[in-house]
Amino acid sequence: MKYPNGQRKTHAPIQRSRQKKADFSNRGMTLEEDINQTNQAYLREGKAVIHKKPTPVQIVDVDFPKRSAAVIREAYFKQASTTDYNGIYKGSYIDFEAKETKNKTSFPLSNIHDHQVQHMKQIVEHGGICFILIRFSLLEETFFFAAEKLFPYWERQTKGGRKSIPYKDIQQEGHFIPFKFHIRVDYLSVIDEMYL
């Protein structure tokens, strides 16, 4: 068949492919995206006010080719960041870190930094609720792990002990958070059970 421009339309050969079964297990979301969606849902429902902390950056060099197109050429972190999220829930201060690992058998403590652990200790000492949300991405499981449970593992590894938390320990000492559609990582339900 010829079209008005004089070119002939060729059809690509029809390729038959096996219909793939829908797979909802890998939702394509990172833990951080899931937490941000969860926090937005909490805010909309008036349950809690919890936000991701901005990372303080010192801008050193900016290129201004035109006013609307400024490009940052060089920047440095002003200080080491503490934890990822903080806010308030039922009058309690909430502060937590979110970490993902592809490891199936343990959570590497190298994912956390000493200054973060020191910050968590200060939060706990002042009566705040502090924890880590740990996602085992290949297992598609997310756990709430209280900071108080983390500290002994941290101290042990600083004294030459194991440099990770075994998965089975996280299962036993942490709280599994099932994925939900509306509130993806409902960590407030764990806080209600454990603290309030």
Query: Is there a domain that residue 28 lies in?
Result: no
Query: Is there a domain that residue 150 lies in?
Result: yes
Beta bridge partners of 144: 133, 175
- 6 phi-psi bin (left φ>0, alpha ψ -120 to 50, beta other): left
- Provide the residue range defining the domain that includes 159: 42-53+80-194
Percent of the chain at pLDDT above 90?
Answer: 68
Query: Is there a domain that residue 58 lies in?
Result: no
pLDDT digits (tens, 9 = 90+) for 155-188: 999 999 999 999 999 999 999 999 998 899 999 9
- List the binding residues for Mg(2+): 82, 84, 97, 116
Query: Is there a domain that residue 63 lies in?
Result: no
Counting the structural domains of the chain, the total is 1
Query: Is there a domain that residue 163 lies in?
Result: yes
Q: What is the CATH number of the domain that holds 160?
A: 3.40.1350.10
- List the binding residues: 82, 84, 97, 116
Q: What's at 55, amino acid-wise?
A: T
Query: Is there a domain that residue 140 lies in?
Result: yes
